[in-house]
Amino acid sequence: MSLGRFLARGKPDIRALTQARDIRGLIVSLDHRDFDVQWHAARALGTMGADATLPIINVLGYPDINTRLGAIEALGAIRDPRAIEVLAALLASHETNELRWAAALALGEIGDPTVTPALRSALRDDNRYVRYGAAKALEQVGWSAETDQDRAFYYIALQDWDAIKKLGTSATGPLIDLLKERHPAIRAQIIEILGSIGGVEAKKSCEQVLRDPDGDVRWRAVLSSRQCGVPTSYLPLQISKRQRTGPSVIGATVLNFFFLGIGYDYVGKWWGVMILETYMMLLTLAQLELGPFIPFLIFYPVTALFATQTYFMVKRESEMAG
């Protein structure tokens, strides 16, 4: 039986592997099904020194995310500059937010000044955790922003909104750039600050955010519109152009036409299931009496009326939710 299979089935003795400086055994333990084993193995690998760097780097190609996170943590603890290139590549392009975040923190632990460009770029990442990790890592390497733009990205990463406001118009560009942030609360905060800063670029962003899919973000944009210079009469037109979210009007209509009640359930009406059960019971009784097809000719004109009612109901509720 191979070591890998043994460790996958049993619970490895991490202390014994550490004392024996069994780097291979600890690396295999990173892939163990028990999270505690993975965590202790990662910490142990971090004590193995530069001898473990290249074997751990090879682990970064493993499919399991927890295994790779453990490897990144170990590389950060070892602080071998040879890991900088691969960690910077992960930070720049990997699709998994947790891995980019971990890579940023590991680069900060390594502490080599050459990691600064990769971390500065990560301050512009579209994920708040990655940005925060990059900001904290830059602190560890002793980085100090030389321009107001860099300061703005740094403060945004830390969500130090008071410091951003003090930068004034210098923060406008970075704030606009990070309106791509997926978290609506942060987009709402950004548009509020842009409103307080004002200016032509802030006005354009206010107009853009009026079409945001999140209702709270749109409302913040409305409240900031005056400071941004957006005319009040212009607001309804812009908001009407927003991306529509919520249940599909057509979907609910079609569902209620073919299976009366399920369309109501689809849009969150608690009584939809009751109507569906009643409809199916009546349909079944009619089929027993009249055969399998004739009942549909009777029921479909009725369900068509309900489908029409469903269309206008869902459309009205969607508009009111805007």
Q: What residue segments make up the domains of the chain, in order of their start?
A: 1-78, 161-240, 249-321
Q: In the prediction, which pLDDT does 101 show?
A: 94
Exposed e or buried b per residue across 148-167, where buried means at least 16 C-beta atoms within 10 angstroms of its C-beta: ebbbbbbbbbbeeeeebeeb
CB 188 within 8 A of CB 200: no
Looking at residue 88, what is its pLDDT? Answer: 95
Query: Domain 161-240 classified CATH 3.40.50.1980?
Result: no
Residue-level pLDDT at 60: 84
Regions of the chain with pLDDT less than 70:
1-10, 233-235, 237-246, 318-322
pLDDT of residue 89: 94
Domain covering 1-78 assigned CATH 3.40.50 in the classification:
no
Contacts of 37 (CB under 8 A, 6+ apart): 11, 12, 14, 29
What is the pLDDT, as a whole number, of residue 11? 80
Query: Whole-model pTM?
Result: 0.65
Domains 1-78 and 161-240 in one fold: yes
